[in-house]
Amino acid sequence: MASAQAQTTLNAILQEQVLKVGLINDRHHYHLTGNGPTGFDYGYARGYADYLGVSLQIVPFYSEAKLYQALSNNTIDVAAPRFRHTDPEPDLSYGPVLFTTTVIEIGPENAASPCSAPGPRQRLVLPYLQDVVTAITGIDWQKSDSADSVTLLAEMISQADYCTILPTTWRAALKGYFPSLAEQVVPDATLTKQWLVRAEDTALLSTLYEFTHLSRTNGSLAVLTKKMLKPEKVLVKPNPRELVEDINTRYPAIQQAVEESQSTLDGAYIAAIDYLVNDWRSAQHEQAKDIDKPAIRLAQIGRKLDLLQAQLPARIQGIDRTWFILAAYYLGASHVEDARQLTSRAGANPDLWVDVKQQLPRLQTDYVSTRAGFADGAQAVTFVDQVRYVAETLTLLMKAS
């Protein structure tokens, strides 16, 4: 009887050809972007489903408590918590260790020891890390109002004398946002990344161990871990002088491809996106990768813009429509629709960019109440502004030449 029970979930997955994995929806583990799903847990879930030869169904969660409950209730097959904080419930079992990370104190740039000077009221921590940080330090911490690490650090900096604690893996990803904060490793403190299955699902747990061993052997786990540590790209407004120089020296190599690209949006916007994302790479030779060939690259941008345009409500018109399309290019259409819903709830006009752009940053802080979950809405606003700036500069210089 026990042997049959041990095979039940794995057999069901293989018969139904679907693996249901519960992932935490936030900046660091899993969320949707304009280029599709991203995050360490998503990448590992994708590989695990491929290993089993089944399709992947992601079920997003915002708290470990609800994630564990869903696993216990058979709503999902596997659960991916942020980290292992405590021993699991008796009906759940941890899988293999995927990686471990130290934790670091983070404080103002000039702080010799980030968290030694401030009093308890000035120690902010993300809500879902409060218990583990308290256990590590033996000190009470104030729970942050934000569930996003970037928003927390921005809040901390604005107060000057606050400090916080984050996993080193998360801090590495945020180097682009905050390059020069004071940091200090907390001694004898590590967090462990492990997934969970139900205790009776020993056959499924065995496949998870097998896949993890294979991932270590073939290097795919190391690739995912390295990607997790790579700083997120932070959009910075192009230097005006450098932009003019690039238009004069780099743009001619891709100009024909821009003019031949087919899109309902002006080619200047396509060129501007390519500048911000690809620095106007101009490899033309046959052996070049497709991503380096301007004609192919720009055509892909144009097709994506047209696809997003078709997804917008017809009542959004004029230049507002262009800004919505560009925001959707960066975030994905579902997140733009979430921002429009937040705009409606705030009593503003969801069809006007000037109103919706005020709500986009809330996708980092109030995402639990949205359909598509976490998104870096503040960076989407920056992206739209920068595409507009580059496109307008390019248009002016082309007219003058």
Q: What is the pLDDT of residue 339?
A: 98
Which pLDDT score is estimated for 53? 98
pTM: 0.92
pLDDT at 120: 53
In the prediction, which pLDDT does 118 show?
59
CB atoms within 10 A of CB 119: 7
Mention every residue, 6+ apart, whose C-beta is less than 8 A from residue 296: 290
Averaged pLDDT in 10-residue chunks for the chain of 401 residues: 67 97 97 97 98 98 96 97 84 96 89 69 87 86 91 86 91 94 91 96 97 98 96 92 96 94 93 95 68 88 96 95 98 98 98 98 95 97 98 94 74
Residue 341 neighbours by CB distance under 10 Å: 16
pLDDT attached to residue 242: 96
Please tell me the CATH code under which domain 2-96+194-229 is placed.
3.40.190.10
d(Cα 108, Cα 153) in Å, to the nearest integer?
A: 10
CATH superfamily of 101-191: Periplasmic binding protein-like II (3.40.190.10)
Q: What is the pLDDT of residue 6?
A: 63
Contacts of 381 (CB under 8 A, 6+ apart): 327, 357, 360, 361
| Beta pairing, strands 18-24 & 55-61 | parallel
- Residue range(s) of every CATH 3.40.190.10 domain in the chain: 2-96+194-229, 101-191
Note whether 352 and 201 are within 8 A (CB): no
Amino acid, single-letter form, for residue 244: V
Give the C-alpha separation, 280 to 294, whole Å: 8
* Residue 2 confidence (pLDDT): 47
**Residues facing 103 on adjacent strands:** 167
Burial zone of 289 (CB within 10 Å; 0-12 exposed, 13-18 middle, 19+ buried): exposed
